[in-house]
A and B are shown apart, each in its own frame.
Chain A
């Protein structure tokens, strides 16, 4: 299916094996971590924290040509569980900072499900510190619908603690009024015609991931040398004045207004921008795919959360979610279901990528993020 990803899976499984050996000792060191959780009973309320505009709403459903109630409402109708949906995650780091205190004390945070991205340190931190509870897979038969590429990520090799919510692709976007297509990272960072009008991310995994691919290094297996090589490339571009700024997700505005001619960009943002003069493509040497994962934090109800996760892994529901939010799903068959509901929208490869596109995607090495030396060097490049 996806030859490159499968090869990487094999490589990762090797690494994961050794990581698995480390897990029990980690958990023991943390004293077991997880505080009081469930009684084995499914509650009648689910508390779910997510990013904003990351789920279908009546308005987005209408735009996507979907009728009927939202997926949350359908869930309540089907299971009788009411959902308190909080859109209070606006940044992995900030959310982590607000909940880590309680989790460190072994307390719950009043949530059954929270969402965190895999190409930053925090998802791994939740799991390695014992602050994520194991899923009840008996309640998630639909887990078999998880696509093969996501079956064994390095931070959770047996998918015991997490399941993907949405993914996004890292690529390059350009303003067609200011430049022709920008197809490679080298062009982005070295073409003198783009000088001072280039954007990169301020997040390590995304920016350095793309650079490593350009350098011919594997972003899923970072070494000190490959890291330093990537940093050197960015530092050079920064010193030469090629890079305008290091952006969060605020590069969309300058791209639209012409302050940026080209930028590293997420597929979802460009889709949401809806501006025909801003185009997006995967870089020549490949892109990074990141995934927001659902986890059950300490104090959350495992049965209730697992029931919900099973619900959203139904291909029909997954298709509605993907159409309603414009992000990439990790459920098999989602594209076919989406075509039945809205063939036009389902043909949009930014939300429903082709197998070819997915074959060019790579994932980050999670051990890179918590490495203090790496973090220090990355922040130093940004003047921090």
Chain B
């Protein structure tokens, strides 16, 4: 009877999948196929021709490996920062916030209701060279007398971190919220210290959330362009910026398409490596 959910082959999974997969198939895969076709074209706008131009891919790697690497490094740092910042917060929300939890969940997501541009203008105000934050940091000699926070790698990575924070926080919350408190009580009964209980019980049980949050943060962050565009200098250009300019300014659609596929490929490879590390059941259940 309970086995109905586990082993019933047949149509159920396909029925459940159908609407979503159909939506993605039509509105994502078909455009993606067109993108693939474009990636093997050559020529100048507007007369592109399909010529099996695989050199678009090799040229892309050759010319922009620096930006690719930088994107993954920035995304990685931002993901780690999000994890460290978010976990204690959502732990508190899940276990200690009581009736206030939904309010705090809203606080996590609220920055998105204020458009990206508007909150970036606010950050540009807060972190301005002559603003309070930089002044304090200069007084504390954390920053040199000419030091600045904006137009730096720090600014770009911080921007990515701030922007993707909810994507890390909410999945972890989802995982923690469902945890059975009695397991913690059992651990305490067995003489575990709070730290031990956390490490041996809570952390592993929240692992699916951590994995989900890591993916939801890292993957889109790698392709991000807007933070580097508004907060960075040429030294911080990410692959997203390259693709953006290839598409909009150079009108080099084949190159832009090829670079996008390389990015997707690299992300999928990272996923495989990650799945191997954490164990693929954590990824897929």
Q: Do chains A and B touch in the complex (CB under 8 A)?
A: yes
Those of B140-191 within 8 Å (CB) of chain A? 146, 148, 150-151
Interface stretch (choices A55-63, A245-253, A359-367)? A245-253
How long is the Cα–Cα vector from A197 to B233 in the complex, in angstroms?
12
Least Cβ distance of A210 to chain B in Å? 19
Per a CB cutoff under 8 Å, which of B46, B237, B241 touches A104? B46
A253 with B121: in contact, given A129-B46, A372-B44, A384-B241 (CB under 8 Å)?
A: yes
Least Cβ distance of B55 to chain A in Å? 15
Those of B228-262 within 8 Å (CB) of chain A? 230, 232-237, 241-242, 244-245, 247-252
Please, which residues of chain B bring their CB within 8 A of the CB of A382? 234, 237, 245
Please, which residues of chain A bring their CB within 8 A of the CB of B247? 97
Q: How many of B's residues come within 8 Å of A, CB to CB?
A: 32
Per a CB cutoff under 8 Å, which of A93, A253, A381, A383 touches B248? A93
Tell me whether B232 and A245 are in contact (CB under 8 A): yes
Least Cβ distance of B46 to chain A in Å? 5
- The interface bits of chain B over 252-278 (1 if a CB of A lies within 8 angstroms of the residue's CB, else 0) are 100000000000000000000000000
Least Cβ distance of A369 to chain B in Å? 9
How long is the Cα–Cα vector from A375 to B252 in the complex, in angstroms?
11
Tell me whether A238 and B250 are in contact (CB under 8 A): no
Tell me whether A250 and B230 are in contact (CB under 8 A): yes
A384 with B237: in contact, given A245-B232, A250-B230, A375-B249 (CB under 8 Å)?
A: yes
Tell me whether A94 and B245 are in contact (CB under 8 A): no
Q: Which residue of B lies closest to A95 (CB)?
A: B248
Residue of B46, B230, B237, B244 most packed against chain A (CB within 10 A): B46
Q: Which residue of A lies closest to B243 (CB)?
A: A384
- A interface bracket (residues with beta carbon within 8 Å of B): 20 to 34
A257 with B234: in contact, given A379-B245, A384-B242 (CB under 8 Å)?
A: no
How long is the Cα–Cα vector from A259 to B244 in the complex, in angstroms?
26
Least Cβ distance of B188 to chain A in Å? 53
| Interface residue B125 (Cβ < 8 Å from any Cβ of A) | yes
Please, which residues of chain B bring their CB within 8 A of the CB of A244? 151, 233
How long is the Cα–Cα vector from A259 to B130 in the complex, in angstroms?
7
Tell me whether B234 and A100 are in contact (CB under 8 A): no
Least Cβ distance of A79 to chain B in Å? 35
| Interface residue B224 (Cβ < 8 Å from any Cβ of A) | no
Per a CB cutoff under 8 Å, which of B45, B46, B234, B236 touches A238? B234
How long is the Cα–Cα vector from A246 to B237 in the complex, in angstroms?
11
How long is the Cα–Cα vector from A169 to B107 in the complex, in angstroms?
44
Q: Which residue of B lies closest to A379 (CB)?
A: B245
| Interface residue A258 (Cβ < 8 Å from any Cβ of B) | yes
Please, which residues of chain A bring their CB within 8 A of the CB of B235? 383
A100 with B233: in contact, given A257-B124, A384-B242 (CB under 8 Å)?
A: no
How long is the Cα–Cα vector from A96 to B248 in the complex, in angstroms?
8
Please, which residues of chain B bring their CB within 8 A of the CB of A238? 234
| Interface residue A196 (Cβ < 8 Å from any Cβ of B) | yes
How long is the Cα–Cα vector from A197 to B125 in the complex, in angstroms?
16
Tell me whether A257 and B130 are in contact (CB under 8 A): yes
- The interface bits of chain A over 76-98 (1 if a CB of B lies within 8 angstroms of the residue's CB, else 0) are 00000000000000010110110
| Interface residue A376 (Cβ < 8 Å from any Cβ of B) | yes
Per a CB cutoff under 8 Å, which of B67, B233, B250 touches A376? B250
| Interface residue B137 (Cβ < 8 Å from any Cβ of A) | no
Please, which residues of chain B bring their CB within 8 A of the CB of A197? 129
| Interface residue B128 (Cβ < 8 Å from any Cβ of A) | yes
How long is the Cα–Cα vector from A104 to B242 in the complex, in angstroms?
24
How long is the Cα–Cα vector from A12 to B242 in the complex, in angstroms?
34
Tell me whether A383 and B124 are in contact (CB under 8 A): no
Please, which residues of chain A bring their CB within 8 A of the CB of B249? 93, 375, 379
Per a CB cutoff under 8 Å, which of A93, A97, A246 touches B234? A246
A259 with B46: in contact, given A379-B245, A383-B234, A384-B237 (CB under 8 Å)?
A: no
A-B contacts besides A372-B44, A383-B237, 9 pairs, CB < 8 Å: A93-B249, A245-B151, A257-B130, A259-B128, A372-B250, A376-B250, A382-B245, A384-B67, A384-B234
Q: Which residues of B come within 8 Å of A, CB atoms?
A: 44-46, 67, 121, 124-125, 128-131, 146, 148, 150-151, 230, 232-237, 241-242, 244-245, 247-252
Query: Can you list 21 A-B contacts (CB < 8 A)?
Result: A94-B248, A97-B248, A125-B45, A129-B46, A196-B146, A197-B129, A244-B233, A246-B233, A250-B230, A257-B124, A257-B130, A259-B129, A259-B130, A375-B249, A381-B234, A383-B233, A383-B241, A384-B234, A384-B241, A384-B244, A384-B245
Q: Which residues of A come within 8 Å of B, CB atoms?
A: 91, 93-94, 96-97, 100, 104, 121, 125, 129, 196-197, 238, 243-246, 250, 253-254, 257-259, 372, 375-376, 379, 381-384
